[in-house]
Chains A and B, each alone.
Chain A
Amino acid sequence: EDQVTQSPEALRLQEGESSSLNCSYTVSGLRGLFWYRQDPGKGPEFLFTLYSAGEEKEKERLKATLTKKESFLHITAPKPEDSATYLCAVKPETSGSRLTFGEGTQLTVNP
């Protein structure tokens, strides 16, 4: 069964304190890994797509990386507006176009 596990469940940072979020996955074959940001009461907002081990994508203070077993979302010098839940999702080879989501990491950045 395809599984996505995110850690930690919650993370509190001070503004400017860099850190990383982890997404480990077990799938029959990976067609793509996706990172989304979700604000309270809102829909997931697309951030990145990764496919190949070693691939990296960057956007402002965020950088996503991918290995054969996991993905990391690195947050450099975060600001309070980066506070949100970060979701990782995979598209397994057996799934067609469906996404399988992890539970998310709730990030709080204090000023």
Chain B
Amino acid sequence: EPEVTQTPSHQVTQMGQEVILRCVPISNHLYFYWYRQILGQKVEFLVSFYNNEISEKSEIFDDQFSVERPDGSNFTLKIRSTKLEDSAMYFCASSEDSRPLAEAFFGQGTRLTVV
């Protein structure tokens, strides 16, 4: 069964460093997303991406964050100058299209720990 793949599963970084989280969405999907979940809190939307550009972003997704689709299969989230409060699980998701009822399929997540 097709699945969304994320690497690494766990990343530890020093405060102020840059990290890149990687995702391989499901191959025929066109819409890609990043969500995050701080420990014990709800899953929060960060950004959606379609046709090589950001289609929507939340207030969390400020200049510290950027996304890129560097090739035909990968989708990355870059976090510059990480802060302690960036520690969270980051989930990549993809959907086939933008129909209202199109379900998003999530990866297993990258646990980011900023120390």
Contact = CB atoms under 8 A, between A and B. Distances in A.
Contacts of B4: 43
A107 B92 CA distance: 24
Contact of A102 (B42, B56, B58, B91): B42
Interface residues of A, number: 25
A79 interface: no
Interface residues of B, number: 30
Given A46-B103, A49-B103, A97 B31 contact: yes
Interface in B25-69: 31, 33, 35, 41-45, 48, 55-56, 58
A96 B20 CA distance: 26
A46 B4 CA distance: 12
A10 interface: no
B43 A44 contact: yes
A30 B45 CA distance: 17
A46 B95 CA distance: 11
Nearest to B97: A97
Nearest to A95: B56
A99 B106 contact: no
A59 interface: no
Contacts of A32: 100-101
B88 interface: no
B91 to A, nearest CB: 5
Contact of B42 (A41, A49, A103): A103
Given A32-B100, A43-B91, A98-B48, 6 more contacts: A31-B101, A42-B109, A46-B103, A96-B98, A97-B102, A101-B43
Interface of A: 31-32, 34, 36, 41-46, 49, 51, 87, 89, 91, 95-104
